[in-house]
Amino acid sequence: MKHIITIQHTQSEQHVNRMIGSWAEWDLTELGIRQAHRIGERLSAELNGEPNVIYSSDLLRARHTAEIVAEYFHTSPVYDAALREFDLGEAVGMSKECARTHIACPVWPHTVDRAESVDGRPFRGAESVRNVWERLFPFYRQIMESDSEQIILVSHDGTLSVFFAMWLRWQVEMLETSCLFGKSGGVSFLREDEARHRIIERLNDMSYIE
C-alpha cells in the first residue's frame, strides 16, 4: 500500500508581487515561512514523524518549504527537477499583467497559463501539459515501484494537478476537460489500498496552515 502526502509550496514572493512563478527563483514570504512551519509541526505529530522520504521540486519556493517541513521529521528532502512547475518559456520573469498580452494559444477561463489543449503552449518556449506529463511520469513510476510506503511530495499547483491525474489513472487527454487545482499551502492525502484502489482522502486541505 502507498500513502502519499502532497504539499503545495506555501506563500511565495510571486503570490504578492503578481509575477509569473514558473521556473523563476522566488523565495517564500515571511507568511509562507510561518505556514511551512505549521505544516511541518502538524504533519509530524499526525504521522508520528515517520515518512519514508520527502521529495521536493528543486525550485527555491518549494525547496524552502520542504526544508522547513523536513526539520520536523529530522530528515533532509530529496530534490528532483521532475517536480518543478510548468516552464512558461518567454513568460518567465514577466508580470501576470504583461504575460496576458503574450498568450499564444487558447487558455482556460480565468487563467494565464493553462492551455485548452494538452499540447498547447501558452507562451513561446513553454511546456505543454503533455510535456509536463512526460517529464513527471518516470518519477511517478519510480516512487510507485519503490519500497517506500509513506512519501511526502512538495511541489507546485500545475505539476500537482498532473500528478493527481496520474494517481487516478486518468489519460493525459482528460486534462483538457477536467483538472484538480490547489492553493498554496494545501495538503492532500492519497492512499492506495490492498486491492490497489486509488483514493484521494483529502484534497488541498488548508487547515494545516491556519
53: three-class secondary structure by DSSP: strand
Residue 175, CA distances (Å) to 90, 115, 133 in order: 23, 10, 10
The DSSP letter of residue 12 is B
Q: What is the pLDDT of residues 3-59, one digit of tens each?
A: 999 999 999 999 999 999 999 999 999 999 999 999 999 999 999 867 779 999 999
Average pLDDT over residues 177-193: 96
Average pLDDT, the chain: 96
Cell 512547475: give the residue. Answer: 85
- Give the model's pLDDT for residue 124: 97
- Give the model's pLDDT for residue 50: 74
What CATH architecture applies to the domain 2-17+27-85+127-209? 3-Layer(aba) Sandwich (3.40)
- Side-chain half-sphere CA neighbours of 185 within 13 A: 21
Q: What is the pLDDT of residues 69-100, one digit of tens each?
A: 999 999 999 999 999 999 999 999 999 999 99
- Give the model's pLDDT for residue 136: 98
What is the pTM assigned to this prediction? 0.96
Cell triple for residue 29? 514570504
Q: What are the helix and strand counts (H, E) for the chain?
A: 6, 6
